[in-house]
Amino acid sequence: MNSHLAPLLIIIPAAAASASLCVLLRPLLIRYALARPNARSSHTQPTPQGGGIAVLAGAFLTLILALLLLPFPTAERADLVWVMAAATALAAVGAWDDIRPLPAATRLVLQALCVGIVLFCAAPEFRLFPELMPLALERGLALIAGLWFVNLTNFMDGIDWITVAGIAPLAGALALAGASGALDPASGLLAAALFGGLIGFAPFNKPVARLFLGDVGSLPLGLLSAYLLYRLAGTGALTAALILPLYHVADSTITLFRRLARGEKVWEAHRSHFYQQATVNGFSVREIVTQVALLNLALIALAGFSIASRAFWHQLVCLGLAAVLTGLLLWHFARKRVRP
C-alpha cells in the first residue's frame, strides 16, 4: 500500500474506536469527572468531562496499528512515538488538572516539558529559519509558540462543538495534505487519526453536550495540532500553517492582550472570548460553531491555494483574505444580535 494513501484509510477506524470508547467511558466519567456549572460556565447542567481520553486513545490505537502494518521508515516511526508519548504525558497533566486543579505555575512547567519533548526528541534537526536565526533562538521561539498553542486550544474549548469545529477541519486538511504528498506521510497519518478521533467524539459533544473533552483532551490536541502545523511550515508552506488555525489563534490572542490591558489575572477562568461574547449577544451555540466551521473551510481553501501557488504575492493575498474573514467573524460575534 502507498503510504501517502494511508491517512484516508484510518479515519473510519479511528472514529469508530473513539465513539466506542466514549460510550464505554461515559458512565465512569459521570461518576468521577463531573463538571458542575458555575458563574463562568457555558453549560447549565452537570456534564461528564474526559472525552479527550476516548479521542486520544482511539486515534493512537489506530495509529499504532497502522505503523505496525505499513512500511514507514524507522526515523518517522520514532518521531511519532515521541509525539504520542508527549501528548499522553500532557493528557495526564490535563486529567490531573480536571480532577484536582493545579497551580498555574506548575501546570505551565509541565506543559513546557511536554512541548520540549516534541521539539528536542521528535524534531531534533527540524528547522524553519536556519538562515535567519541561530538554532537556540528558533528553538526558544518554537517552545513559546507550542506552549501558547497548547493553552489557546484549552482556552477555546468553552462551548459545545467549538473544538470539533476548530481542530477537526485543520486535522482533516492536513490529512489530505499527507495523502497528496504536500506533507510527509507520517504527519498525514497522525492528522488523519486525530481527525477520526474527533469525528467519533463529535456526536457526544453536539449541543447540548453529553460529554466534554476536558483538559485531558484539549491540551494534547493543542500539542498535536501545533506539531502538525510545524511540520507543514517546514515544507515551505508557512503561509498555509499560519492560515489554517487563524480563528482559534486570533480569538485567543486578542482576548489575552485585552485582558492584560485591563489588568486581569489571565490564568483565571473567564468568559471574554469572542465566541463566548456571542452567546451573550444572542447567538445560539449551534450558530456560533456553524459559522466557525464555515470560516475554517474558507481558511482551508485559502491555505490550499497558497500551497498550490508559491508566488510571493499570492501568499500575501491569501493571508490578507484570511485575516479579513477572521476579523469579520470576530466583529460579528462582538455585536449584539438583532433578530427580526
Average pLDDT over residues 44-49: 85
Is 1 a domain residue?
Answer: no
In a domain, 152, yes or no: yes
Confidence of residue 255 (pLDDT cuts 50, 70, 90): very high
pLDDT at 246: 98
End-to-end CA distance of the chain: 56
Query: In the structure, what pLDDT confidence band is assigned to residue 144 with cuts at 50, 70 and 90?
Result: very high
Please indicate, yes or no, if residue 216 is contained in any of the structural domains: yes
* 96-105, 155-164, 327-336: segment of lowest average pLDDT: 96-105
pLDDT confidence band for 1 (50 / 70 / 90)? very low
Cα separation, 145 vs 100, in Å, equals 27
What value does the mean pLDDT take over residues 234-250? Answer: 96
Which grid cell is 268?
Answer: 483565571
Range of the domain at 330: 6-334
Count of other CB atoms within 10 angstroms of residue 167:
27
Sequence-ordered strand ranges (E) for the chain: 34-35, 47-48
In a domain, 339, yes or no: no
Check pLDDT > 90 for residue 310. Answer: no
- Residue 310 included in any domain: yes
Name the pTM for this structure.
Answer: 0.94
Q: Average pLDDT for residues 243-271, to the nearest whole number?
A: 92
Phi, psi of 73, rounded to the nearest 5 degrees: -60, 150
Residue 21 lies in a domain: yes
Number of domains in the chain: 1
In a domain, 340, yes or no: no
Mean pLDDT confidence for 237-261: 96
292 upstream amide cis, omega within 30 of 0: no
Name 39's Cβ contacts closer than 8 Å, sequence gap at least 6. Answer: none
Task: Specify if 276 maps to a domain.
Answer: yes
The more confident residue out of 296 and 74 is: 296
